[in-house]
Amino acid sequence: MPDEARLSGAGAFLDAAGAAEAHSGEATEPRRCALPDNPWRSDDPLDAIVVLQDYCIRMKGAACERCALACPHDAISYGAEERPLIDRDRCTRCGICQGICDAFASPRITMADLHSRMRRIAIRGDEVVVASEACLADADEAADNVVVLPSLAMLSPEFWALLLAEGTRVSVAGDLETVAADPRSGSTGDELFNYAVQCAETWTERSVGYLEDVPLRENLLRDAASPAVRGRRELIDDLLAGAVDIASGQRTLRRSNAVQDFRERRERLRARNRITAAEGPKVNRYMPSGRLNQVMWPKRRLLLEAIDCLPAMAERVEVLLSRTDADRCTNCLACVAACPAKARFSDPETGALLLDPRYCIGCELCAPACPTGAVFFESTDATELLAS
């Protein structure tokens, strides 16, 4: 496992892929897919990928271009104030940009909604199965425990890590060669998906399963009409098994276990509230606006929730955190003004500089803002986030 696979943070796996290509002497330009016609183009506003400028560090002065580098169809450029612009004619809505950066989101598919849906599947005792649209035929109906995504690359390492840390049984289904050849996300999508899963498995020391076929919704009437595909006796046996399951109380028992599992998860959710206990506006007369408003980046939140579920993984997750040389610091607070997440802030009692590492996303914007060169960055493991 390369050291780069232990990095955390939005887009870190893209950085690692680029570093590997540079080391091998190959071209660092991502391979692009030729799309003479874009079958995924949509004029529906609800289908469009949107930019959340509060989470775009490029708009705050960082030299970041991960989203443009990752897009397999060159659909992302930069406009006024360095705002990311999405070319709707080129965009296939594969979701790779969502997996790379918190600044991109879809009105139809949010990471919070996806996680909630997967939790509901797990709570009822089923395995969560993740599949790409490329692996489903138009007439296929995925089973209730299958979450179908435009591209597997839209899930970040932090998302996969949270699923595994929670103890969720999760598998990827479908022909992976089909996924790799999908023109919607291109080879970039396949590489980022594999890298994200590899990171999550390394961090948690747990595994994502693989299924050759995507589970489909059962249709007894259709199957009964096609005895060549499945014997009628097998269909009757399935119906009888279901009836016995209900009569014996096994289904009730499974539901009871699911309720217990839900209660355990609810308790963990309460514990996670301390992760964001400091978030939100707070009166602080030493801050320019008279209050402190910290912002938790979504991927950092996922990582903190995963660590809260599985504290042992913290020592296997490498993060880049801001540091201060006390001998050089004059407490001018220029770094506080530059920090987009307000990981750096003033002590509300004394006005002295403080740092909450949970909020530090390693954007490095605070370092050039310091007039005395007191700010630097250090790579460390995530146990520091656990202790905060």
Q: What is the pLDDT of residues 245-282, one digit of tens each?
A: 555 555 455 445 555 555 555 555 544 444 444 455 55
**% of the chain at pLDDT higher than 90:** 55
- The answer to whether residue 285 scores a pLDDT higher than 90 is no
Q: What is the pLDDT of residue 2?
A: 36
Q: Judge contact between 343 and 316, C-beta under 8 A.
A: no
- The answer to whether residue 108 scores a pLDDT higher than 90 is no
Q: What is the pLDDT of residue 33?
A: 57
Q: Average pLDDT of 207-226?
A: 74
**Backbone region of residue 205 per phi and psi (left: phi > 0; alpha: psi in -120 to 50; beta: other values):** left
Q: What is the pLDDT of residue 64?
A: 92
Residue with the larger pLDDT of the pair 267 and 173: 173
Write down the pTM of the prediction.
Answer: 0.79
Q: What is the pLDDT of residue 322?
A: 96
CA contacts within 13 A on the Cβ side of 173: 21
Q: Average pLDDT of 226-246?
A: 54
Query: Mean pLDDT, the chain, as a whole number?
Result: 80
Q: Average pLDDT of 350-378?
A: 94
pLDDT in tens, 316-349: 999 999 999 999 999 999 999 999 998 999 888 8
Most confident of 15-24, 105-114, 355-364: 355-364
Q: Average pLDDT of 222-244?
A: 53
Q: What is the rounded CA–CA span in Å between residue 55 and residue 340?
A: 8
Q: What is the pLDDT of residue 187?
A: 83
- The answer to whether residue 132 scores a pLDDT higher than 90 is yes
For the ranges 164-168, 220-224, 370-374, which has the lowest average pLDDT?
220-224
- The answer to whether residue 363 scores a pLDDT higher than 70 is yes
